[in-house]
């Protein structure tokens, strides 16, 4: 079950110790969770055709306040986690709160960019394609929270809570 | 004073969710484009294919909203057939109007689809009633979108001297240059708003966090460098910081959005027929937020223009989604010039 | 091919302007375009002064065309435009559709200026039906666009191409020169007159990039199609346009004249020619 999001997402930053701890944790399990979510959506919620230019591209999602960097790649077979530290084609950085707001369509990515809460580095055209493709998905059962770091973060929080 | 004529709220849709968000939040019209360079927001992954267009028109018409299709770039001789096919497609799908800039294409549309309603795009650069009446007499255009260069008094002079409905920009990204007359992007990147339908294309843009701050480059040219926490703008040449005569500043315009909410009573009184919201490149969240505010404001102004004042909450909501630091009245307010 | 001098886009003191055109009378131009196309506030030369210059240049054997203002904002702009159209002697270059309407109504032949955005043969055909006898290609267009338009060009319409000068890239309602000095446009103190080739804009890495000329923005680099003259001729261009600059126009005109006559000609400088070759305008394509 997904954790329930309030209608308007409050502004929050994960506590700094979490970021320090998060950075020391293995980054692979959250990457796996994200990739699994993305693959689940592929072909059903996310159409494959507009994603063709993403094939062979390497992505990194940096959740700044969780100290997390999720690395993955896309090919025609789907998304897969990346194990190496090679330079990604596109890196998107934001706080967990803002990733969740984007995923739930509460905030516009340009709005976050203007206020410096979102940074997109690398291949900008690739970033636009990803953003516009996600913005263009229109299916009644679409729940972008499943795709996004939201779910990953929830699991991470649980792990940290249990481990602490 | 008699009741002012109804004013239409025209909202942007880069995709189907944005179209629905606009209509659900009170847009009278949405404007959209096809997935190619026939429109001036030709960005990767944006715009409508046949399926989403069909669904969008159905959704809009069921809710008594209109769909306008922008075909507002300038076709070349060798790709002419693609633009005329786009006009045919828009007509066949039953859109409520097409928004055109090129007189060749207007002539084609008028002959091939005499019942198709034509709007003059802002890309047509018509700033005087003489120019607007030219398009009406020759091609039967029924509405003209004014470039964001005229003062309020100048807008009124245009309205008074033409039977063509006038649409003005109400909110969103601010082109400081006369639309249709700007080759800055073409000069730096080779991608022309007039011919390729994109300004500062993604392929030419690089953002990078450096020790000096976040740098924005367009085709390698340093457009701006932002300190931490400093609000940013679009990576267009006109919103960059440059050195001119030993001063480093926003030489052309700050990153800022146009917001004419406070002018609503005047715009209505002078007979403006439609207010356009910029932002087909933005997300459904933006479209929903901005449409909702403007719907409320227009309804409130239509009810009682004399006592209309923009609510602080409206302005706060609009400022939140604005480019850069703030909003501006742009050219409507003469001192801006 | 013929050689033309476009309207002076910059703002020069009255005497300097008069001296400049006195020199132009002696230079190898076949045609000269005159008038203020950028800003209605500029007044070193009044409408009647421009007509005097026109008469003198016509007397020196030049074909003279009066150019209309590209951005019309006010009723007084329209009045000036109507006066220009009614000059009774010289042809007019229409730089926006309002001018086309007024000229066509009076059944006067006209030149379709570069800001009319003619990018296809269909559009040129329509303008020709309204009375256009010549069109000037938008500078951002290149050889491919030209070939397309000329493939379907109506008979009797001449083609002119902007071939030398800082590229006019954009117009605005805002005066960027006034902005630099924290002045408003309406009280601008005519600062443009201090920048006879425009006010240089550099990036924060000190690269020369643009120049500001009141409400107009131009390239810092000079566009130069001297080496492409054989290509222009082969494409079917009738007239090659140079844009006025504060100094050194005689050398440029001479070089272009020689090139048009099939002789060897060279110019040295920081040039660009990207637009003609379908590339970003600021690029210089070396081997053509």
Q: What part of B 255-314 touches C (C-beta under 8 Å)?
A: none
Q: Tell whether C260 is covered by a domain.
A: yes
The last residue of one of the domains, among B217, B233, B250, is B250
Q: Name chain A's partners: 3 or more CB pairs within 8 A.
A: B
Q: How many domains does chain B have?
A: 2
Contact between C212 and B104 using a beta-carbon 8 Å cutoff? no
Co-location of B105 and B222 in the same domain: no
Nearest CA in chain A to B232: A114
Rounded to whole angstroms, how far apart are CA atoms C120 and B326? 40
Give counts: helices (H), strands (E), chain C.
9, 12
Residue after which a domain boundary falls, among B201, B217, B250: B250
Give the integer Cα–Cα distance in Å for C161 and C163. 6
Q: Which domain holds residue C260?
A: 2-166+222-271
Q: What is the pLDDT of residues B239-284, one digit of tens each?
A: 999 999 999 999 999 888 999 999 999 999 999 999 999 999 999 9
C20: in domain: yes
Q: Is C59 within a domain?
A: yes
B contact set with A (CB within 8 A)? 14-18, 20, 43-46, 52, 55, 201-203, 205-209, 214, 226, 228-234, 255, 281-286, 289, 320-324
Q: Which residue of A has its CA nearest to B17?
A: A138
Nearest to C123 among B104, B177, B335 (CB): B104
Domain range for residue B210? 184-250
Q: Point out the domain boundary residue: B213, B230, B250.
A: B250
Instruction: State phi, psi for B146 to the nearest 5 degrees.
Output: -80, 135
**Chain B interface, best mutation among C38, C185, C280, by max B CB count within 10 A:** C280
Q: What pLDDT is attached to residue B6?
A: 86
Distance from CA of A119 to the nearest CA of B (A): 8
Q: Where are the beta strands (DSSP E) in chain B?
A: 8-12, 29-32, 66-71, 97-100, 118-120, 143-145, 165-173, 177-182, 205-210, 213-218, 221-226, 241-244, 247-250, 256-259, 274-277, 326-328
Residue C93 lies in a domain: yes
Residue B127: CATH number of its domain: 3.20.20.70
C257 domain residue, yes or no: yes
From CA B243, how far away is CA B58, in angstroms rounded? 51
In angstroms, what separates the C-alpha of B185 from chain C's closest C-alpha?
8
The total of structural domains in chain C comes to 1
Q: Over the stretch C250-280, which tens digit does the pLDDT of each residue have?
A: 999 999 999 999 999 999 999 999 999 999 9
Query: pLDDT-based confidence at B323, cuts 50/70/90?
Result: confident
Same domain for B167 and B124, yes or no, is yes
Residue C182 lies in a domain: no
Q: Would you tell me the crossing angle of helices C47-59 and C14-24 to the nearest 10 degrees?
A: 20
What CATH number corresponds to the domain at position C261?
3.20.20.70
Whether C203 contacts chain B with CB within 8 A = yes
Chain A positions in Cβ-Cβ contact with residue B52 (cut-off 8 Å): 136, 138
Average pLDDT over residues A68-83: 89
pLDDT band at A5 (very low <50, low <70, confident <90, very high): very low
CA distances (Å), origin B311, targets B291, B308, C147: 15, 9, 56
Q: What rounded mean pLDDT belongs to chain B? A: 94
DSSP-derived 3-state class of residue C16: helix
Decide if C171 is inside a domain. Answer: no
B165-176 pLDDT, tens digit per residue, is 999 999 998 889
Reference A59, options A41, A23, A34; nearest CA is A34
Query: What is the phi-psi region of residue C145: left when phi exceeds 0, alpha when psi lies from -120 to 50, beta otherwise?
Result: alpha
pTM: 0.93
The reported pLDDT for the residue numbered A1 is 32
Looking at the domain assignment, is residue B2 inside a domain? Answer: no
Segments in chain C below pLDDT 50: none
Mean pLDDT, all residues of chain A: 78
Do B29 and B163 have their domain in common? yes
Q: In chain A, what are the domains?
A: 17-159 (3.30.1050.10)
At what angle are helices B103-112 and B80-93 packed, to 10 degrees? 40
Judgement on whether residues B95 and B223 belong to the same structural domain of the protein: no
**Which residues of chain A have a CB within 8 Å of the CB of B225?**
none
């Amino acid at each position: 079950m997904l954790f329930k999001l309030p209608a308007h997402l409050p502004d929050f930053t994960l506590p700094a110790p979490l970021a320090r701890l998060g950075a020391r944790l293995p980054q692979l399990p959250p990457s796996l969770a994200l990739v699994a979510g993305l693959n689940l959506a592929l072909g059903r919620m996310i159409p494959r055709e507009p994603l063709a230019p993403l094939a062979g591209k390497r992505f990194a999602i940096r959740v700044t306040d969780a100290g997390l960097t999720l690395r993955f790649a896309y090919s025609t077979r789907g998304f897969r986690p990346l194990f190496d530290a090679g330079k990604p084609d596109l890196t998107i950085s934001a706080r967990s709160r803002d990733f969740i707001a984007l995923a739930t369509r509460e905030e516009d990515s340009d709005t976050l960019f203007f206020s410096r809460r979102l940074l997109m580095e690398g291949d900008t055209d690739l970033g636009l394609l990803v953003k516009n493709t996600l913005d263009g998905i229109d299916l009644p059962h679409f729940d972008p929270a499943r795709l996004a770091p939201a779910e990953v973060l929830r699991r991470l929080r649980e792990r940290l809570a249990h481990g602490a | 004073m008699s009741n002012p004529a109804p004013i239409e709220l025209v909202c942007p849709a880069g995709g189907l969710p944005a179209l629905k968000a606009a209509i659900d939040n009170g847009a009278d019209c949405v404007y959209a484009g096809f997935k190619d360079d026939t429109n001036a927001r030709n960005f990767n992954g944006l715009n409508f294919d046949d399926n989403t267009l069909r669904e969008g028109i159905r959704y809009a018409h069921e809710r008594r909203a209109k769909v306008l299709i922008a075909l507002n770039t300038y076709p070349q001789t060798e790709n002419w057939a693609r633009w005329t096919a786009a006009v045919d497609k828009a007509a066949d799908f039953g859109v409520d109007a097409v928004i055109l800039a090129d007189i060749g294409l207007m002539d084609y549309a008028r002959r091939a689809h005499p019942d198709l309603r034509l709007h003059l795009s802002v890309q047509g650069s018509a700033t005087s009633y003489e120019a607007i009446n030219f398009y009406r007499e020759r091609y039967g255009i029924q509405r003209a979108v004014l470039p964001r260069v005229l003062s309020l008094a100048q807008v009124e002079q245009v309205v008074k001297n033409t039977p063509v409905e006038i649409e003005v920009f109400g909110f969103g990204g601010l082109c400081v240059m006369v639309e249709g007359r700007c080759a800055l992007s073409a000069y730096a990147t080779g991608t022309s708003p007039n011919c390729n339908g994109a300004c500062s294309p993604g392929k030419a843009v690089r953002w990078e966090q450096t020790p000096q701050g976040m740098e924005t480059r367009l085709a390698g040219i340093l457009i701006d460098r932002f300190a931490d926490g400093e609000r940013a703008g679009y990576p267009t040449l006109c919103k960059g910081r440059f050195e001119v005569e030993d001063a480093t500043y926003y030489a052309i315009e700050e990153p800022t959005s146009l917001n004419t909410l406070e002018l609503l009573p005047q715009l209505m009184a002078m007979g403006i027929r439609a207010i356009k919201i910029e932002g087909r490149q933005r997300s459904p969240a933006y479209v929903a937020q901005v449409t909702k505010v403007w719907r409320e404001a227009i309804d409130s102004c239509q009810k009682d223009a004399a006592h209309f004042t923009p609510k602080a909450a409206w302005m706060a909501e609009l400022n939140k989604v604005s480019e850069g630091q703030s909003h501006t009245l742009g050219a409507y307010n003469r001192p801006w010039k | 091919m013929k050689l033309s001098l476009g309207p002076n886009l910059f703002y020069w003191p009255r005497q300097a302007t008069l001296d400049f055109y006195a020199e132009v009378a002696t230079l190898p131009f076949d045609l000269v375009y005159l008038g203020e196309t950028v800003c209605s506030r500029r007044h070193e030369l009044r409408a009647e002064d421009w007509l005097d210059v026109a008469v003198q240049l016509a007397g020196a054997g030049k074909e003279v065309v009066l150019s209309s203002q590209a951005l019309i904002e006010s009723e007084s702009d329209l009045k000036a435009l109507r006066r220009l159209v009614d000059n009774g002697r010289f042809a007019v270059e229409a730089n926006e559709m309002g001018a086309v309407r007024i000229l066509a109504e009076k059944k006067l032949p006209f030149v379709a200026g570069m800001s009319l955005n003619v990018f296809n043969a269909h559009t040129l055909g329509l303008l020709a039906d309204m009375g256009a006898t010549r069109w000037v290609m938008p500078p951002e267009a290149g050889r491919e666009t030209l070939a397309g338009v000329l493939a379907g060009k109506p008979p009797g319409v001449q083609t002119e191409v902007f071939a030398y000068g800082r590229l006019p890239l954009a117009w605005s309602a805002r005066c960027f020169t006034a902005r630099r000095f924290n002045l408003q446009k309406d009280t601008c103190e005519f600062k443009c007159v201090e920048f006879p080739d425009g006010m240089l804009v550099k990036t924060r890495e000190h690269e020369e990039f643009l120049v500001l000329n009141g409400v107009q923005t131009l390239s810092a680099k000079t566009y130069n199609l001297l080496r492409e003259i054989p290509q222009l001729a082969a494409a079917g261009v009738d007239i090659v346009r140079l844009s006025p600059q504060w100094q050194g126009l005689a050398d440029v005109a001479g070089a272009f004249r020689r090139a048009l006559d099939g002789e060897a000609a060279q110019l040295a400088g920081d040039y660009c020619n990207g637009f003609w070759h379908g590339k970003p305008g600021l690029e210089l394509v070396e081997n053509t």
